Amino acid sequence: MLSGTLYACSLYLEGIKRYSPLVTGAILLAMLGTMIPSALAASLLMTRLGRYKPWLFVGWVSTLLGTGLLCSVSLQSSTAGSIGKLIAVGAGHGVLLNSLLFAAQAVVPGKDVAYATAIYTTTRALGFTLGVVIEGTLLQNFITNRLADSDVAVAASIAENVTSYVAALQMNSPLPVQRRIVEEALIYGFRWVFIVLTIIGGAGLVCTVAIATRSMDRPLESNHRLEASRAQPQS
């Protein structure tokens, strides 16, 4: 969800709002900059309280709230409103970042914590990559379907090269009528991408109910032990 949101928001800010890559990156810091403090706060509270499942719900609800609000994106959406939505998304993903890791470690025996951590990290990295691919493909399909009924003869070409066409929109290259049609098609695609992301987030929230609740306060189980130094103190 995180990578898909970043991908769609980047194209929206550059193609529809016509911001430069630098300004787009600065706006996206509203989401990325919120993730770090929320992840830190959640990890400290989970460690202190010894509970991780409530924070899973907090993370999913915040993520769903922000992503759901992004479904209302339009040509007239204000940048300030978009920043507020990105803050909610970033806070949710930040809480989920550590709470999911804590859950993965808590539900396995102590000796398997390292394996659970490795699998979680690998799966998250793989999901980040697949998120861009899947959301990019969905966006292309939605744009193609939207442009199919218009007079734009190069609908398929625009959808397949949406990132290149975003640069053309920034330079006002297309004719005004064609540009308006393409912008509306992009908005249509962005809305459906965010709807799909919201559905995925809803599935994650439902699956959270099935996650077992285990104690985080338990002894370390490991085959590795620290031995006291055998060196004799010098007289």
Q: Does residue 234 form part of some domain?
A: no
Number of domains in the chain: 1
Quote the pTM value: 0.80
Give me the pLDDT at residue 27, please: 92
Residue 235 has pLDDT above 90, yes or no: no
pLDDT in tens, 58-96: 999 999 999 999 999 888 888 888 899 999 999 999 999
pLDDT in tens, 109-119: 877 888 888 99
Q: Does residue 218 form part of some domain?
A: no
Q: Does residue 9 form part of some domain?
A: yes
CATH number, position 31: 1.20.1250.20
pLDDT in tens, 177-199: 677 777 888 888 899 999 999 99
Q: Which one, of 122, 111, 116, lies nearest residue 101 by Cα?
A: 116
Q: Which one, of 143, 141, 121, lies nearest residue 133 by Cα?
A: 141
Cα 71 vs. chain centroid, distance in angstroms?
Answer: 15
Q: Does residue 230 form part of some domain?
A: no
Q: Does residue 33 form part of some domain?
A: yes
Residue 225 has pLDDT above 90, yes or no: no
Please indicate whether residue 231 or residue 150 has the higher confidence score (pLDDT): 150
